[in-house]
Structure formats: C-alpha cells, structure tokens
Structure 1
C-alpha cells in the first residue's frame, strides 16, 4: 500500500487484537477515491494469510431498499461460512408450522413482501428505527434489538459469525456504509456488541458525504466504545511517484510527475489519469522512463469525475459547474452573481460540495479540491454552455476590475512552470476555439509559459496560426497589445527578422490608430492588474502617438528622444492607449537595439512589471554596446522592479546577467530563521527543495533558477543538513508533508 503505512499499522493492530482473542473495530473514512476499498481488499488478503476467516460485504446506493443486504451477502458468500443447514439452504417453511414464519437466510433477499424493518405504522412487527420518542435527537443506534422477522434474521447472522469466529479469528469488512440502510447499521451495532467476547475484527469504511446521518451516528457510537477512526489523507509526493511507476511499469519523468501532482494525492483520480493517458496513447513508455506526449485529460478521468458529480444534488452540481468557469480558486460572491443568487442562499449547496470533497474553503476563497477535478468539470461542460458562461464571467470581472488569468501569470513570474503550464492548458481548453479576446489571451499565455519551460521553438509552434498572416497577427496584437515585444524577442531568437519587423510595424499602427475607447477592457486597470502578456513574458512598452507615427514609417526610422514631451501628456491623459504605445516602443527598441525607445518604455509603461522588463532589455542592449554604467543602472532598476512584483524567476535572470558582468547582489532577507527543520530553509533552499521533490535533476533545477549546478548542489547539501535527511526520497516526503500541514 503506497503511502498508507500509518493506516496499515492500524490494520495490523486490529489483527493483533483479534489474534489475542479480543473483539476490535477500525473505522476508515475519507473522500471519494482515497483508496478505502483497496485498503479493505488488501486487509482481507493479509488476514487470510494470517489464518483468519474473512467475510466481506459492500453497501450499494440502491441496496437501501433491501434491509440487511450487505450483512446477509457477506455471510452467505463467504467461503468461510459454516456448513450448517441454516446457511446452506435456510429453514424450510414446509417442515412444520413452528418454522413457517422464520426467514430463510440464504434466500432472505428474495422475499416478495419483505419483513417490515422500516418502521411503517400499522405493519405487524414493524420497528421504529428513528429512535421512538427521541427522534428529534437523532437516530437510535445504541444496540437495541431489531424487531419482528428481522430479529430472527439477525439471530442467524449472529450465529453464523459466531461459528466462524469460534474456529479462528474472524475479519468482517463492510465497505461504502454511507449507502447502508438503517436496519443494516443497527444490526452492525448490535452484532458488534453481542460478539464482543469473540475474536472478531470489524473493518468498516465509508465515504464522507453529506446527508448520511445514520452512518455518522454509528461511527460516533463505535468510536465512543473505543474503535479508532482513521481518515485517509492524500498520498505524499513520494508515494505518488511510486504509484505512478506501479501503474505504468516505468518511472515517470518530471513532466509526467508534475501532471500527476494535479491529482493532489487522490489515488483514484491519479490511477484514472495515468491509465487513461496510457490507453489513449498519450504516453511514451520505455523500460527506463514514462514520458508524457499530451497533457489533455483522458476520457476515463472525465467519466470518473462525472460519476462523482452525479452524487451531488442538482443545486450543488449547478454551483460546482458554474464556479468552474471562474477558475480553480474563486469567491462565493462571484458565483452567486453568476447564478443570480446570494451567498446565503448558496450555503446548503456549498456545504454539500465541500463535504463531498469537490470543493475546499479557506479564509477568503473557495478552491476545487483537485486540479484535475476542476479541469474535468470545466472540460465536461458542452461548448454551447461553457462559452456563454465564460463570457458572462469575463464581463462580470471586467466590471469589477479583476482578471481571470492572474494565477498563471503569478506562477510564471515565480518560476512554477509545471503548475503554470497545467493551469494555462486547462484555461485554454475551457474556452471555445474561437477568436474571442479571452481565447487569444489564453493561447498567448500558454505559449509564454511553454517558451519559459521548453524554449522559443515550441512556443512559436503554438502561435504559428497567428503569425502566418498580417491579419491574424493584428488580431493577436489587438487583443493583447503587450504581446508585441515578446513576439519580437521570440522571432529574433529564432532568426525570423521579417516576422519581428511585421510585428513592430503592426504594433505601431495599432498605437497610432486605436482610440482609447477601443482599448482592451483591462487597459484602464493595467497598473493594478497587468494582463497575461504584461506579467508572463515581460514585455512592457510605452510610446506616445508621435512616437508610434515614427515607427509606422518603418522599423528603423524612429527618433524616440524627440517624442518625449508628447508622451508624458498622453501618459497621464490616456492610460488605456499607453499599453499600445508602450508596446510599440518596446518592440521597436528590441528590433533596432534602440536604447532611447527602451528607456521611454521603462519610464512610462503603465505596469511595474512592464517597466522592469524594458529596463532589463535596456541594460542588455547597453551592455552589448559596451556602456557598462548605463547597463548596470538598467539591470539594477529591473532587479528592483521585479522584486516589487514578486517576480523571483525574472529577478534571478537579472542577477545572472549582473554576475556575468562581475556584480553580485545580496538577494536574501535578514529574517530570523530556526536553525533546523522545514522553517529554517531560506527562500532559495525552499525553491530548490520543491523542484527536487518533483523529480528534477540538479541540472534542470540550475537551468530553471538561472544558477550553476554547483550552486544547486550547495543548496541541496544545506537542505539535507537542516532537515537531517540523506536522500531525495526523504526530501520528497517532507515536502509533501509540509504542503499538507495546517497553517
């Protein structure tokens, strides 16, 4: 059992109690997919190996109409059932009037009318399972007798279990008790009490969902009588890697591990994801490695998630599916606004979704419990529904001055490329394949993440349809003007100067012809919430209308210094247009190595990150020209700007540039740290730890963090010393525990 050492220890203690001649019980619970059924199956196998008799039953959702079904089937289907007439054929009503009314255990599930075990008024032999006069206080599962015909059947169940336990210790496993009928739950409580002197080990499991108060009561009662309750937690990172290797018969590469991490340690979702990817030929599996070819969600996982959503009420499912278009993390007020409701009216549905393990709540936001679950929900919506919902959400957020892709931008700026790539891909998949601004921005953001992770070539491949013709390129720049400098840099990196010139000219034309009212919806709030290109790729820009006119005459003809007075006036009067003019200036500065254009962009771009990016490019160009003082000033301004934005990945790149120029900057804080333990790690050590825990090599970590392999090794030694460990496996385990510990 991967990652279930603690739970397996509890099972072992259960066995030891029964082997010592005592009755004992263990209560397992958890969210769907956490591996309860697998644990029960493994326990039954281990118990038989230790000489136990074993009887196993499972409650079914529709089985609630058949009282005692899980227990009857568990006893009659067990190979360890006693060979008595009662269990072989059951009592024969024809043998005499004294036995005519006794139930037949073997055929007890085929009664035409069934015994009255549901407490219907006016029925002979009926029993009130709600607890008589104390119904308002909850169900009465204290161990009282099950009346009428059910009492005789219960006696036979007790006789059969006692016979099995009389020969050797007995393990009774009952799964999915959240679906059990009240009579079965009462019988479990009664049998647990009446067999207390025999070596019977009870292993009971249930999925934690809303509305199953009777099984809640049973577990509470048994816990008060000494039964330990174990809730299955998510698997740690090391166990996820081991389980992935078990399923695929090959160790997963870092990219596949990063995708597997989106299951957030849920074994059921993880197995469905991996097997689905394998069955749909999305993996390349060799004896030494399993490598991912496509990160799309397989049909197998989609079906699994739909089955999970089917367990919700229509109100809860509507809440979940509507909230999905807002992103993995969202606010209840936003969902209520989309639904035309109020947060107070949504509370019952929200509580149900949280109890079912679909959503989780923290102090300020709600979050889908698992990344792949959120992606499956959003991708499962028909395009005809998903598209209008996205447009409604975009309009709502535009009205409130917020953006929907800030999570990906923040991940990219921090350097969390695996998470950023998965989220960007999910965001793009969630949008209809049209030419709406939202879809264009999502494709651009994904390309920027891919460029940071895989290089310029794969990123250009993703955008080839936009770069093929001037019209499509204009569409991209109209939707996201700050894409221009990034596209210029990308094209120059790939030796495609003609494309870089086309982008520069188009950007200048848009800057000179786009009125403020036609600027993208996010333009007027750029300083508070930069767009995807602003933060993701680093392309600031800033030019005034006169400057743009100069660029429109040709990439090489602009005189940026002469346009400064007009620029300042326009910058204060029209921040929306500044995004277009800034992009044009930055693009021209990159194409023509024009320091004056980059200087203008660095001073007047509407967003701090954009200004930092222009300053970095200015420093690089001046360094190439041999102007060391100016270059260092530009890089220093970029370092400060990136630090203010929390762009640690970009700041690390600037530090590397400065180190190559012989300048080193202190980049750690003087905050007090403990001398050992996870909290003693510096920010750099934490970053190294998380990447190594994901399966990255030292060289991959070095390339990602813009430091040398020797520096990575140094930090890793410090981490091992502070955590008192000696292996990467131990580091992965501790990292997973740190991720799941409470704040």
Structure 2
C-alpha cells in the first residue's frame, strides 16, 4: 500500500530537525572530539563550515551536554550579544568549569574580535572551554589564525557523506530512497540545511510517496515549491553562469564543456570561472568525461527558461556544429529534429543521414527523422523524391505499413524519375505482401523485373518479394521459380538463394516431405546474409524443428533471430508468433498466449495481415485446451475470413487441423469429420503428422469413435509411412506407434508411445488413451495409474479442459483423486522455476530485455511473469523484489 509521506503528521519534527530519535546525523567524529575537550575542562575549539552545515546545531548539542556535566554555560547567539558576554567575562571569571559559546564570529565587530583575542590567552590556565564558530572564509581570519597558532583544536564541518545523506533522507521521508530520489538529494551537496529545505519543498508539493518502506518521487504532482527553490538557486548565479547553463541545457542533461564553449564562440579556459561557479553551486556535477545537471528536474527547469524560438535556434546551431566537425549524424539529429527549418539543406541532410544510420536497429526513430526531413523539404527540391523513398522505407521498417503505402502511392501519382519510382513501387509491393495481398504484390514485382533499367542493388529485393508473393498465391509457379534460383545462384550464400530454399522447404512441408523440408530449411537458414525486413528462412527452420519436437535447437534459432541487430517490426512480430506456437507445442500455454496476443496486437495495429492468421490459430488452440470454446470459435472464424491458405509461416494443414479441433468441440464429431470430406480432403495425406505428431492419435481416436475404420486405417498408414521414410525423426515414430496402438487396441504400444513422445501434450494423450483402453480390462489399477499420469501432465501444461475430462474418467472408476500438493499461494516457495530464475536476474539488476535474451522469451513474456511474481510476493516494484531477494538470501 502506498502512502504519501507529507500526510504523516508524526514526522513533522523530523522535517524540522532532519534527525531521528534526537541524533544529529553525520557529525559523530566532531561530537566525539568535543566531548574529549569537555573532559579536559579547558581549551579552545575553532568550528568552521559553510552556511547550513550544522554549526549552530552542533554548538547547541554540546552546550546541553556541558550543562548536564555541571559546566556554567555562557552563549552569545549573534554579533549584538558578543560584546556584552565578553565584557561580563572580563569583569568576572567563572568559579568552576565553564563553556563559552560564540557563534557567527564572521559577523563580529572589530572591537569584539580584539577583546576576544585579549581574553583567550588570559584564560589559558582556567577551567574554561571556548567554542568559537564562523562561516568558512567570511571573516575573523586573524582571530582564528592566532588561536590556531596557540594550539586551538580546529573542526571543519564538511558536506555529509553519501551514506549519511541517504540515512537522513530516510529519516525525512520514512522510506529508503530510490535512485532518482537520491539523485535529487545530491542537489544539496551534503549540506544538511539545504537538504532539509529541499525535502520541505517536496513535502509541500506532495512529491514523495513511500511504498513498502521505499521512497520515490511522484510523477502525478506539479513540483511548484521544489521548482521555486531550484529556480532561486539558479537565479543566485551570475549572468554568465546562467547563460552557460541555458546553452548547456539545450545540449542535454549531460554535456561536453567544449561543446558549450563552441556554442558560445568562446573557449573552455575563458568559461572556467562560470563552470566553477555552477559546479560549486551544486547545479552541475562531473560525470566521467562529461558534466551533467545534478537532476533531470533541474535540467528541465533551466531548459524551460529558454524561450522556444531561442531554443529552436540553439538546437539548430548545435546540430550544425556536430555535423560540421564530422560527429555522428545520429547525435546531430536529436537537435536538428527540434531546430531544422524548411529549406535548411544542411540540417535536413543531417536528418536523412541519421535516419539511414538507425534504420534497422531503431526504425521508429528512423521513421520520425525521415518524415521530419520530408516535411521540411521544399516541394520544388530535387531531393524531394529521394527523401520520400527514405521516409517510405523507414515507415515500412517501423511497421507503419498503411502510412508507408499511402506516401509511396501519393509520390507515384506525380512525375517521378525511373530509379526512385522503382524503389517506391517495390515498397508498395513489400507492404502489400505483408498485408497478405499476394496477387497485388506479385503483379508489381513482376512488372519491376521486366524493366530493363532496374537498379542492380534493387533486383535481389524485388526477386525476394516475388518469391514470397508466389508462395502465398501460386505454389506451382513458386516451386518452379525457386528451383530455377537454386540452379542459377551458385557461389557464396545470398538472400535470394536463402528465400528460394525456404520456399521449397515450405512446399515440401505442406506436401508431406518433412525430411526434405528440414534439410532445405537448414540450408536456407545458413544461406541468409541480411538482417533487413524479415528472417523468414530462419523462422521457418525453427517451426519445422519445433514440429519435430526438437525444442532445444528451435530455441537456439529463435534466440539468434531475436538477438540480431535488427529491430524491424516485421521481423519482431513474425518472431513473436513463431515463438508463441513453439511455446504452445512445448506445453507452456500461458506464455504462448502472451506471445500470441502481443503478436496479434502489433499485427492489427500495423497492418501485418500476414501475421494475424498465425496468431489467431495459436490462440484458438490455447482456448480449446483451456476450455474457452467461444474464444476458440471466434478465433477460427476470424482466420477463415483472412483466408490463411498461403501456408507461408505455418502450413495450410495447421489451420485446417485447428478448425477440425474447434468444430469437434463446438459442433460435434460428425461435423468435424465432415470437414475432411467437404473442405480438407488432403489433410490426412499432408505433412500434418510431422508438424503436429499428436494429431495422428487424435484422428484415429475420433475415427474409431465414429466407426470409420477406413479413415482410421488411412491415418495409421500415413503415420507409419512417414516414420518409415524418416527413421531419424523420433517424434514421427512416436506418432506412428501411438496411432497403431489405438487402431489395434494394443496397450503395450500405447504405453510405449507415452514413453517415446517428446512433448507433454502427446505424452498425456497417449497416457489417457492407455487408461481408457485398460478401463474395460481386468487391470483397473493400470487404468487408474495411466489416467492419473495423464491428469498430472495436463495439469502441468495448464490444460484445464483436458484435466476435467480425465477427472471425469477417474470418477467413473470410483477414484476421488485428491489434489496433488499445490504450491503455496504466496511467498518465495510459490514461485515456479521460471519465476524464480526471473526473480534472481532482476535481483542482479538486469532489464526485461536482458532477461528475455537469457531465458529465451520475449520482453512481453518476462513482464507477464513479473506480474505473477509481484502478486505472489505481494509487492509492486522491482526495487521491492531486489530487497526481498536479499532478505531471503
């Protein structure tokens, strides 16, 4: 539960004093030294420090200690009291031990200082302790120098150490400060008064929240009092220092002193006094090889003080400065985005160069840069069309397919020279391909390839687009073209060859040749060289491996794709949907659902219609096994409308198999099997049993249930033929054993299948089939054992509908199966292995993206598990997770 610390009335005293339980933090050494002087009963102590370092507080504390020990205490609070106190001391010496306290001697009159210089030597043999305090460097120099020569003890109150500041902030807020709050506290530079004043302003603004003993800055409040305090600090600087800060703020929260000097047409040496001033004031600090504003709030305050037109002009000058000296266009682009003006050729060129530099690893940024450059380009400029091409390419990479296509078509409606026109037309072909409009994409691609003057660097990309469009539109022609490419592309690997091999692999998969498909896909994955628009050959290879239940190798392939340099949206959304199905096949239903929903959301938002159907097919399978029939029916109906007959990412058979499953659950066995005759006559003879080995057992089971022995035998024959032709594919062999065991009612074969299957789904299916078979035999104990094994596997997967079915079978056998000992609902022991692994990596400071790379899952899935971890541990933040982890260890 969150509380705002300003509401805690009991903390009022801590706001005033900045201490806990009466302890004045950070002055333990000084306190010990003063106690030693009191023990001696005589001596002079010189206390110096900047304003707000706690001189007066320390004097008061020692005066109270001395009074408790029987000292006569005489105190002068200001320059008006000092002469009277000294006069009394000159007239009457103390009878017993005495403590004389004179504060703010830097304000004392010359006569007072002269009288004090006379008194100090005269009292050297008396039981008198003198505490003399001043602000460092502001006066009383002769007095302090003379006293020091005579052996006085000197105490300099330095800024509080970082750990003391953290303790003090904890006192002030009631919670352990997070990184951002500590950064803000550093503005006080270890000065207790400044720190307390800063947090008083935060308290007034209601800016700090404490959650589970941790304090952080709230972002839902306007920090008016805090900003006023910081504004006063900046206003107290000299004009030169303020101007330096304003220019520096345009460069960013971190900046190079030399860049500021160049912007001010000066030199770092000349700016040194102003730099010293802003550092001394605590506004700027040294950070590695650069300077930095001490906190983002302070940086934004200074930046906002620069009028918008002036800020734009400064950004433009900064961008041009970086370009002029040959720095990265990406660094310059951040400024040029804010400052470039229409017709400013140099600045616009910088934006375009930056867009090209980040096109593949930061396509969103590239799109923003390229579109802005296009907006600033004059319509009559010769560069307009080339910048349009760049903008269209960047929008496509960023997944903004509709905008990319509209921009390209609008440009093509005008007179455009052949070379850029070809690039724009290819962009249209690409976006229509990703939008699952294969015929349109094919028509554009073939028209481009017929043109004699097509730029050589564009030819490979057009050929790839044509191959992929043909795969979705005309399988016969796709196969002929792919075979021709393989014959003619000899020598080193290239992306056209990789795509052709992948096309042949997809066709082999769909025509029931899994061995050929796997080898072709493996070669395709090795032949690819580009990280541009997609990773289709690699992802197809991963789907084939996962279909054969080679999960470890499939995981490695997907990990390599995800770990590549490209962040193009097409690549990411295709990878997500492939990983979703792999997770589903491996029995990780929840994670599969998260990945598939993430892929579907992005696909729908960006117009990647080619990925919508695969995501829906995975979600339909998830819904079937979790008992959500309405959702399963909705998903299948939607992808039927999408006409997922392209078989590009998943096979056509996979969509048909999902349709048959959902129809069986929703409309009954008769309608499900009718689909095999009416709509999917080639499903059994396809390569389905190599892509989904457990489907063989399902079809035999359903055929026998319907009394259709012919269908059952056809399934067994097909599965056994695949196993015979591919003896190295253990998943296919297990599918054949399972199908034959069902057909022959052979318990030993079903038991063998339950052992040989390589995924939990199929193993559970085989165990259930064995249990059902043994139900009618004398071996009821064997039936119960097999059904309980199936139930355990279904529960492990999270297949609630299948679990319910098996529980019903067990009840008919008279077994009221007790629930297996469940994990606790909360606490560390409630975490499963994946959750514990993620928690440990978070405790080591890793980000979601770093964790996703290590554990082979997307950042979406990591976030999904983190929410479960937070719920089980009853926490709400990564900071709390780190602390809980440390406590547990």
TM-score class normalised by the smaller sequence: 0.3 to 0.5
TM-score (norm 2): 0.39
Larger Rg: 2
Bigger fraction of residues in helix: 2
TM-score by length of 1: 0.46
